Amino acid sequence: MESLAKHYGNLKAVDDLTLDIEENEVFGLLGSNGAGKTTTIHMLATLLKPTSGTAIVNGYDIVRQPAKVRSSIGIVFQAPSSDDILTGYENLYIHSLLYSVPRSIRKKRIEEVLELVGLLDRKNDRVRTYSGGMRRRLEIARGLLHKPRVMFLDEPTLGLDPASRETMWQYVRRLVNEEKVTVILTTHYMEEADKLCNRIGIIDKGKIVALDTPAKLKAGLGGDVIKIKTKIKDADAVARKLSFVKKAEFVDGVLMLQVHNAKRDLPILLQSIEAEQAEFSSPTLNDVFIHLTGRNIREHAEDEFMKRYAKYD
């Protein structure tokens, strides 16, 4: 991406992104609703034209060579997009025609991707009988049919239950290892980004505010995090009072304290301030996100998505 931007009037949905993503990498775009994740994906997939800047996908310019880009990519959207009156096999067959998969390998390729996502034994069942997780896996299979070099997964597990989410992670790992594809993943889920991604770009208000491996992002925060529910309203006063507190701030009504050693510091802290509830942990990606953006990541978009899938579960 070279100075990639998308503006809607005065709103800068994506603001001057310059970024390289490596071949066969799982790269995560992590951000809250409206941060610019999906807009970025839509530009890279040639579904939106940039206001300025451009990007090269598999050697092709998204502005000057959109058809070449489309032939190089697969994409799984947030919303369900398979035809539920057709079988899983029929959905993939139609897609193979649209992407000109050669007739001589069409059946074999469809069965390969169905096996990859664990749906080969359900290929002749109508999609309306699939669970939400199975539909998502079918859409991944569809995106892989034409052997893309780059795969865009836009919130691939949004709306799925924890067990289905874990299953989906397994299939994402398989497609990277077996299909040798580069994956660009957008997600709200910190655990998902932590487990799947080689590197993460945290995006906020259309800009990348941090870029590194999950381990290095967490290590960069330093120390431990103590979370306290308290009636105290002045976070800065707590930091001034206690020298071991490196940073204090309120997030969603909870006092967040960065300290060097929570096991040592928490008893001292509880002697100094009145707390209704307290807990501590080593830094997580969510703590990194809060530190960089000043707020917790939001997942309220999941409600609408879950409504779309409810009839399948």
Q: What is the CATH number of the domain that holds 158?
A: 3.40.50.300
Residues 192, 69, 96, CA angle at the centre, nearest 5°? Answer: 80
pLDDT for res 297: 62
pLDDT for res 271: 87
The pTM assigned to this predicted structure is 0.76
User: Is 10 a member of any domain?
Assistant: yes
What is the spatial distance between Cα 16 and Cα 29, in angstroms, rounded to a whole number? 15
pLDDT for res 307: 47
The domain that contains 256 carries what CATH number? 3.30.70.260
User: Is 258 a member of any domain?
Assistant: yes
Q: What is the pLDDT of residues 139-168, one digit of tens each?
A: 989 988 998 999 999 888 877 778 878 888
Mean pLDDT value across residues 243-260:
85
Mean pLDDT value across residues 92-114:
93
User: Is 311 a member of any domain?
Assistant: no
202, 217, 232 - which closes a domain: 217
What is the spatial distance between Cα 232 and Cα 225, in angstroms, rounded to a whole number? 18
User: Is 63 a member of any domain?
Assistant: yes
**Tokens in use for 145?**
């049919």
Whether residue 158 is found in the same domain as residue 263 = no
User: Is 288 a member of any domain?
Assistant: no
User: Is 190 a member of any domain?
Assistant: yes
Whether residue 108 is found in the same domain as residue 212 = yes
pLDDT for res 296: 66
User: Is 292 a member of any domain?
Assistant: no
Whether residue 116 is found in the same domain as residue 172 = yes
Residue type, 62: I
Residue 311 has pLDDT above 60, yes or no: no
Whether residue 201 is found in the same domain as residue 227 = no
User: Is 43 a member of any domain?
Assistant: yes
Residue type, 297: I
- Cα dist. 275→22, 125, 156, 229 in Å? 47, 56, 39, 6
pLDDT for res 188: 81
Whether residue 99 is found in the same domain as residue 200 = yes
pLDDT for res 295: 67
- Percent of the chain whose pLDDT exceeds 70: 94
Q: Which domain holds residue 125?
A: 2-217
Four-point Cα dihedral 250, 252, 257, 258, nearest 10: -110
164, 184, 217 - which closes a domain: 217
Q: What is the pLDDT of residues 252-302, one digit of tens each?
A: 888 888 888 888 888 888 888 888 888 888 778 888 888 787 766 654 444
Whether residue 65 is found in the same domain as residue 142 = yes
> Which span out of 111-115, 122-126, 193-197 was modeled with the highest average pLDDT?
122-126
Whether residue 18 is found in the same domain as residue 37 = yes
What is the spatial distance between Cα 280 and Cα 187, in angstroms, rounded to a whole number? 25
Task: Judge residue 276's burial from the number of C-beta atoms within 10 Å of its C-beta, 0-12 exposed, 13-18 middle, 19 or more buried.
Answer: exposed
Mean pLDDT value across residues 86-94:
96
Whether residue 90 is found in the same domain as residue 55 = yes
Specify the number of domains making up the chain.
2
